[in-house]
Amino acid sequence: MIKRPRRLRKTAQIRNLVHETSLDVSDLIYPMFIIEGETEEISSMPGIKRYSLDDLPKALKEVISAEISAVLFFGIPKNKDENGSGAYEENGIVQQAVRLTKKLYPDLIVITDICLCEYTSHGHCGVLEGNCISNDKTLPLLAKAAVSCARAGADMVAPSDMMDGRIGAIRNALDENGFSDTLIMAYSVKYSSSFYGPFRDAANSAPSFGDRKSYQMDFRNKKEAITETQLDIDEGADIVMVKPGLPYLDILKTTSDTFSVPVAAYHVSGEYSMLKAAAQNGWIDEKAAVLESLTAMKRAGAKMIITYYAPNAAKWIKGE
């Protein structure tokens, strides 16, 4: 045999020399829950917490020590209302967290989730008209939330609501208010997925009625991802996202191959909790399984990965 592919796998040194895909700490974004109240453990996501503002500095110090360069904040207010006003309050929980973070670590990239679901009493991502979500009445509130986060010091806003036209509305509002340099990471390809369960527990954002299938994407569709991504890019998105991660590697690859803008993958709460549960039961090697999962997303085309495993993954990548 002239061709023996196994020659390139003979030793770890040779495999490292010829490997095609690399996972680096700089690829990781750590999503963090910030609560108006006391720090709490999240039972459905072992090892993950809802951080109070008092405990946030300690958590951020660990992020910096791990050499993670970006965080994504989700806010959990004490009080919620029909229109999710906590999302755009100038002194809202996320806005306070952004100001504190930038004071402590000016170079840390701070991204804020832009959505109403954590802030509405009904748990949906937009303004209600009866039992329907009003797309166009929601857009000004999302724009207000983005501007308030930018004013607090956020480097990037990440709209996750899946309303039509939201990227254009946010881009226009940012520009009109002097924040033309604030980046937009669009949740362009966000499927209505069963893998979000632990997040809804963590953020206390489960819908009080119905579901989100009228605005989040149908998981049976692939071509729709191209339409959604193109619209967001045309409206001003700087980075686009595919969510969830592992179950949608085909979508991630298609999106990366089709568009030139950077593509993010979200390794979502359900993926985290499944890996954690399997590891706690001794069914898998947690470190190996996590690094394999994250590398698969890089291999499919992700330039960056949002993952609750970021602090641990950073240490594992560095061999610690």
Catalytic residue among 80, 144, 243, 276: 243
Which residues are 35's β-sheet partners?
76
Beta strands in the chain (DSSP E): 28-35, 40-41, 49-51, 70-76, 109-114, 127-129, 132-134, 156-159, 183-190, 239-243, 263-267, 304-307
| DSSP one-letter code for 106 | T
Which residues are 114's β-sheet partners?
159
- 131 token code pair: 């039992």
Strands 70-76 and 109-114 turn out to be parallel
Catalytic annotation on 190?
A: yes
How many other CB atoms are found less than 10 A from the CB of residue 151?
Answer: 16
| DSSP one-letter code for 81 | B
* Contact between residue 41 and residue 52 where contact means Cβ atoms under 8 Å apart: no
- The span from the CA of 276 to the CA of 270, in Å, is 10
Catalytic annotation on 80?
A: no
Catalytic residue among 49, 102, 144, 190: 190
The residues carrying an active-site annotation are 190, 243
